[in-house]
Amino acid sequence: MQIYIHIPFCARKCNYCDFLSGPADAQVQEMYVNALMHEIRGRSSSVGRNEKITSIYFGGGTPSILSAKQLGDIYATVTQEYSVADDAEITIEVNPKSADRDKLHFLRGMGFNRLSIGMQSTHQSELEMLGRIHTYDDFLECFINARDAGIKNINVDIMTAIPGQTEQMLEATLNKVIDLDPEHISTYSLSIEHGTPFYEQFGDIEGPVVGEETERKLYWLTVDMLKAKGYRHYEISNFAKPGFESRHNTGYWRRNRYLGMGLGASSYLPGAGGFERCRNTTSLETYLQNPMTREESSVLTRQEMIEEAMYLGLRLMDGVDTQAFENEFGVSVRSIYADVIDDLAAQGLVYEGASSLSLTDLGLDYGNHVFAKFLK
């Protein structure tokens, strides 16, 4: 069982960001923290006291924009209301500009043992284009302070396919990050989303701004460099040293149960009628008044669960565990998707092993096309 905590605040929206987040004054932030703790207490009845929480993830927005005391109060409320495993992975996303030495030491002392730093690039020109509020020096200081605080599991986010980005620029960014020796690196290709400043700038375009050919060159440059340095490419966009794969995110891809709390947070939980996906209200005003308000709720059909098992599992380099699939659904993957698998295999897009189905290198380039084949 996993817990996700959403902190929807940030100092300023980045030019590419379409997440449920934005600036807010100190009074609103404090009201939100109180509402969030009310929800944390209110949802605890949906999780058995004997059910161990194996990971907790503070995402956003920018969770580190809250004060150390506010973050500590939220985390303490979780540990009071839920049975957190002794070896649980406790992650918080931070912006280098809002995570100083004292805050990082405090968080480590509270129990946070994994940090995800939103760096994106080491080049100031790219950071400014993306609308980031920090510099590379800010990131470097944050990383060093995190190590000093005793945090031994750090992820660094890197963005690729930025307009104007060359292979040489990306290689320089990757080399600087590799030299710091983080345990985990996430790389994301820039996409243009509705309602963002980049959408206003670039318009409603299909595919990457830099073009598909350039995007793929940058992607495979990243893959080759990180694998050469001992990072395991375990998911389309994620790389880790052995044993440091994100437990929380892997849980999503493996369809583990999770409880999401906070504005717009989603959950995947068993209910009376089967597994249910639900989402909290996305209205901040409503959430502050009644943080238990759900905006969406639906019980998944068997077909929807099968489709999720396929397209989420294929994101992982290990692919879909076909034996686990059969154990869960009582039928084999091939009995449902034989024609699809044969067709994709003939195109060189998937590989069918003895107990798995996974994307080939070519399949990684056409992942969305492959995923769509498993949807009805």
Taking only the tens place, the pLDDT of each residue in 220-255 is 999 999 999 999 999 999 999 999 999 999 999 999
Length of the chain: 376
pLDDT score of 294: 95
Question: Per-domain residue ranges for the chain?
Answer: 2-252, 301-376
Taking only the tens place, the pLDDT of each residue in 138-184 is 999 999 999 999 999 999 999 999 999 999 999 999 999 999 999 99
pLDDT score of 195: 80
Q: Which of 162, 132, 149 has the alpha carbon at shortest distance from 62? A: 132
- Look at phi and psi of residue 83 and say left if phi exceeds 0, alpha if psi is from -120 to 50, else beta: beta
Per CATH, is 2-252 categorized as 3.20.20.70?
yes
Contact 138/120 with Cβ under 8 angstroms? Answer: no
Residue 278: C-alpha distances to residues 9, 150, 264, 296 (Å): 22, 36, 10, 5
Q: Is the N-terminal amide bond of 61 cis, ω within 30° of 0? A: yes
Task: Supply the CATH classification number for the domain 301-376.
Answer: 1.10.10.920
pLDDT score of 250: 97
Where the chain has pLDDT below 70, the residues are 206, 272
pLDDT score of 201: 82
